Amino acid sequence: MMRQNKWLCSFALIAALSMFSACDNVDTPNDTDTSNTSKTGTTTPVSIEDNEKKPSFFPYNNPSVKEVPPKPFTNHWTPATAQKPKNAPLQVFLSRTARRMSLDKLKATIPYLFGGITWTDNANRNMFDQLSLTLGKADYIEVTKNNNEVTKLFMKLMDDMATNVCKKVIPADAKKAESARDFARFGSDVNKALRFIRLKFHGVFVADSSTAEIQQLRDLYNKVLAAAKKKGLNTAQATDKAWELVCIATITSPEFFIY
């Protein structure tokens, strides 16, 4: 076994020496040599200037290469007449789905619109905070994403919120001048007050010459006013009840909390 290992080591040493000797026989070019050697063995000196005069393989140094100018830019915004192919399928482009206001937006919006009045319970606790998880706010422990879907439970709580807020807003408005009221401003002119409500709460401008966008609220006001008087309420009480129902209808409308 030892004799075989010695033979293997000897063959490896001989192979290594052969490789080194082969590398020594390779001629390496001299970078500083500026002469040309002809086939006959004579050497012709070449100056650096002669090398510079010779055309280079780079296009910008080679006069035989013609420069091709770039193609003109195609303006893709140029107006053109669209031509519809025959029997083309109808393309339907869907916009983003409607979303409701988040809990944080509702919590900030209600007191801003109603002069500081917000949704509270009998102990004066803020119900937006008490029912935050039910209204879709994430606690980042079990739920990590806010739920802004319009569910039946959300609509039920919106009814509770609107009833609670409007029962406090209308009596508070009655103590203020008509021009300073938060909801039933210009109450003596019902249509003018309804135009103000539509613009403030729904962002809908209704011209003085039109009643189409306020007709449903006006019908509700008239029906509640007549029903309240029939139950024996005086004019002031019946008017407050009518504005209270208009208030509830206004802030439970999808135009208020869906965008």
Percentage, residues of the chain above pLDDT 70: 63
Radius of gyration of the chain (CA): 45
Please tell me the least confidently modeled range out of 72-81, 126-135, 209-218: 72-81
Please tell me the least confidently modeled range out of 18-22, 29-33, 82-86, 247-251: 29-33
- pTM for this entry: 0.61
Please tell me the least confidently modeled range out of 19-23, 97-101, 108-112, 181-185: 19-23
Average pLDDT of the chain is 78
Cα 139 from Cα 227, distance rounded (Å): 45
Check residue 31 and give its pLDDT.
Answer: 46
DSSP code, position 119: -
Does the pLDDT value for residue 57 go beyond 90? Answer: no
Angle, CA 214 vertex, CA 213 and CA 218 arms, to 5° = 155
One-letter identity of residue 63: P
* pLDDT bracket for residue 48 (50, 70, 90): very low
Does the pLDDT value for residue 34 go beyond 50? Answer: no
Q: Between 166 and 42, name the one with better pLDDT.
A: 166
Query: 132, exposed or middle or buried, with CB in 10 Å at 0-12, 13-18, 19+?
Result: middle
Q: Between 179 and 15, name the one with better pLDDT.
A: 179
Does the pLDDT value for residue 76 go beyond 70? Answer: no
Residue 100: partners with Cβ closer than 8 Å, 6 or more residues away: 148, 149, 150, 154, 257, 258, 259
